[in-house]
């Protein structure tokens, strides 16, 4: 049986090489060829003995994902659609900035969490991606961009596991992919520059801290359990008190001294003064102060099936001021790539849903949350 070497982090690759009767150090050479140099053909790997190259041709291959399409935004953001087989395709987004290049990577074909405001969740869920399919997104983007720009040095400096899927529900495949990203013989990314985003899979947050601590971002989106149950259904299983306790525990292992909370601003749903004040109280009860976390306020990127609307800029400003005045570091995320549906919450790919999520969400829409009374600066003061 032949294997795809993109599925292996370096230690597993060393075991594979030993199985071929080779020394373990050959794995490091092989790993560098695949990930640092982007080689697919074993004959390109000229410092490997010919006998090893012949063995590899029989027992292994390097197979990246096939590109279905590529779209480039007016702001330079690039989105690729990758074929992962069986009628499924996932999306990956590259966001260039003057001081960094960030790749947003998918971990699943679809998503089973079903957050109300996320286009991926409305597509349903097909399957977990393999480790090689996760790392193949970085492999392709890094070497494509190097070739396109004519650069020899690394182009992608940051990776965020914020694409399609819930990474911590694909933990077994996520970890080797992260290890390959961090490996100095692979992509050499800093733990501070690799971020795993989760909707709150509490037991896996603890495991990540023990196994492969990287930066952690939590999709919060509501300050109380009753509202979060509606917006992020996983909250029913892991409510806020459990989630925040896990985040505080993660700080003992995290490469940064804070946890990032993502908060999608939904008009009349989670953007009121009461909600901001609830957040202040929630943060204050945990971590011994307000400096242990940061908040990213994300303007909602609408899509027809959501039934939701973006909060207005004035309302977002009022909300942010309450958090900032309470000593909570708060930023407003700039929307990138929305003209090619590459912005946060817009990745949908092409998924053969086996969870019947479309039917379930259609039923839920009949009992949508009642919007709260909008803020009126004539009658209420911050």
**Beta strands in 209-291, from DSSP E residues, in sequence order:** 215-219, 259-265
Output the six-digit token pair for 369. Answer: 């949350």
Model-level pTM?
0.90
pLDDT in tens, 13-39: 999 999 999 999 999 999 999 999 999
Q: List the CATH code of the domain at 3-61.
A: 1.10.150.530
Among candidate residues 22, 91, 142, 166, the one labeled active-site is: 91
Q: What pLDDT, on a 0 to 100 scale, did the predictor assign at position 307? A: 85
The residue among 221 and 351 whose pLDDT is bigger is 221
Contact 107, 128 (CB under 8 A): yes
Cα separation, 217 vs 119, in Å, equals 19
Cα separation, 57 vs 47, in Å, equals 16
Q: Say if 3-61 and 66-367 have the same CATH topology.
A: no
pLDDT in tens, 159-176: 999 999 999 999 999 999
247 is catalytic: no
| Superfamily (CATH H level) for 66-367 | Aldolase class I (3.20.20.70)
91 is catalytic: yes
Domains of the chain, by residue range, sit at: 3-61, 66-367
Contact 240, 282 (CB under 8 A): yes
Among candidate residues 115, 247, 264, 344, the one labeled active-site is: 344
């Amino acid at each position: 049986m032949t294997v795809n070497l993109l599925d292996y982090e370096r230690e597993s690759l060393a075991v594979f090489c030993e199985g071929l009767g080779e020394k373990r150090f050959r794995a490091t050479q092989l790993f560098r060829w695949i990930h640092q140099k982007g080689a697919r053909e074993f004959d390109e790997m000229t410092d490997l003995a010919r006998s090893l190259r012949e063995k590899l041709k029989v027992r292994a291959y390097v197979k990246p994902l096939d590109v279905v399409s590529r779209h480039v935004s007016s702001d330079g953001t690039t989105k690729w659609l990758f074929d992962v087989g069986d009628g499924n395709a996932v999306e990956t987004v590259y966001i260039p900035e003057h001081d960094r290049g960030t790749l947003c990577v998918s971990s699943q074909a679809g998503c089973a969490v079903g957050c109300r405001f996320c286009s991926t969740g409305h597509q349903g869920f097909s399957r977990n991606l393999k480790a090689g399919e996760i790392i193949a997104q970085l492999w392709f983007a890094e070497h494509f961009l190097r070739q396109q720009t004519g650069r020899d040095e690394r182009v992608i400096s940051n990776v965020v596991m914020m694409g399609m899927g819930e990474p911590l529900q694909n933990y077994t495949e996520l970890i080797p992919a992260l290890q390959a990203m961090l490996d100095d013989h692979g992509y050499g990314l800093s733990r501070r520059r690799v971020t795993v985003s989760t909707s709150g899979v509490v037991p896996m947050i603890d495991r990540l801290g023990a196994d492969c601590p990287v930066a952690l971002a939590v999709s919060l989106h509501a300050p109380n359990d009753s509202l979060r149950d509606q917006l992020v259904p996983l909250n029913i299983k892991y409510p806020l008190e459990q989630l925040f306790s896990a985040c505080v525990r993660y700080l003992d292992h995290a490469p940064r001294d804070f946890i990032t909370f993502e908060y999608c601003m939904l008009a009349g749903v989670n953007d009121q003064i009461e909600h901001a004040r609830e957040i202040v109280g929630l943060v204050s009860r945990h971590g011994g102060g307000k400096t242990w976390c940061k908040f990213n306020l994300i303007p909602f990127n609408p899509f027809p099936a959501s039934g939701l609307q973006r909060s207005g800029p004035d309302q977002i400003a009022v909300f942010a001021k309450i958090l900032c005045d309470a000593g909570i570091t708060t930023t407003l995320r700039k929307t990138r790539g929305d003209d090619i549906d590459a912005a946060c919450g817009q990745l949908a790919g092409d998924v053969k849903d086996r969870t019947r999520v479309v039917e379930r969400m259609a039923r839920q829409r009949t009992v949508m949350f009642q919007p709260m009374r909008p803020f009126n600066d004539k009658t209420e003061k911050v």
